[in-house]
């Protein structure tokens, strides 16, 4: 039986930590859906389409990965698309507290849905998209935090957002 999992997130922008979790999931499961969350309550640095493009470019070597976007309840999306489990990366205990609550909520909303936690690699357990954006805004080097193939696009977008250039 083929198993499909989903790796949901904002990916604003994609980091090496994201790629680590997605790659490991792709090695364990038949299909991985990477789903960019559309949250109307937040104003992301990158549009949904830009985040999909950055992920596509970064993950083009993984043939069992599909990249899409969604809004609404993750539990409903998984039910509608035949997804067996959610894969989430955990960096610290604080991540577990939040993700554990989300896992229980998703299980109540969709009893057939499981959540699988993967611990972050030691090299990226401190890394977050918000940290990448902040370091970049302040002129710091983010080359050790983001995929090389999209580094320049991320830097350009974040620096232009800081200066008001569109």
11 contacts 51 by C-beta, under 8 angstroms: yes
Look up 24 and say whether it is catalytic. Answer: no
Look up 162 and say whether it is catalytic. Answer: no
Look up 79 and say whether it is catalytic. Answer: no
Give the number of other CB atoms < 10 A from CB of residue 147. Answer: 19
In the three-class reduction of DSSP (H, G, I as helix; E, B as strand; rest coil), residue 128 is classed as coil
Q: How far apart are CA 99 and CA 79, in angstroms?
A: 19
Which one from 18, 88, 133, 157 is the annotated catalytic residue?
18
Which one from 2, 40, 42, 94 is the annotated catalytic residue?
42
Which one from 24, 79, 81, 91 is the annotated catalytic residue?
91
Concatenating the DSSP letter of every residue in 14-72 gives --HHHHHHHHHHHHHSSEEEEEEE--TTS--SS-HHHHHHHHHHHTTT-TTEEEEEE-S
Which one from 45, 58, 129, 157 is the annotated catalytic residue?
129
Look up 151 and say whether it is catalytic. Answer: no
Name the residues annotated as catalytic.
Answer: 18, 42, 91, 129
């Amino acid at each position: 039986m083929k198993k499909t999992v989903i790796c949901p997130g904002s990916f604003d922008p994609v980091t090496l930590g994201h790629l680590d979790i997605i790659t490991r999931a792709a090695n364990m499961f038949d299909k991985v859906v990477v789903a960019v969350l559309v949250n109307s309550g937040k104003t992301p640095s990158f549009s949904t389409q830009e985040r999909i493009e950055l992920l596509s470019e970064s993950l083009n070597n993984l043939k069992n990965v599909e990249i899409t976007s969604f809004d609404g309840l993750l539990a409903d999306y998984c039910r509608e698309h035949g997804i067996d489990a959610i894969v989430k990366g955990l960096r610290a205990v604080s991540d577990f507290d939040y993700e554990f609550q989300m896992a229980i909520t998703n299980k109540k909303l969709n009893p057939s849905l499981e959540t699988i936690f993967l611990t972050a690699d030691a090299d990226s357990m401190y890394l977050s998209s918000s940290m990448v954006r902040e370091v970049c805004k302040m002129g710091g080097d983010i080359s050790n935090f983001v995929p090389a193939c999209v580094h320049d696009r991320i830097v350009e977008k974040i620096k232009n957002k800081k200066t008001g250039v569109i």
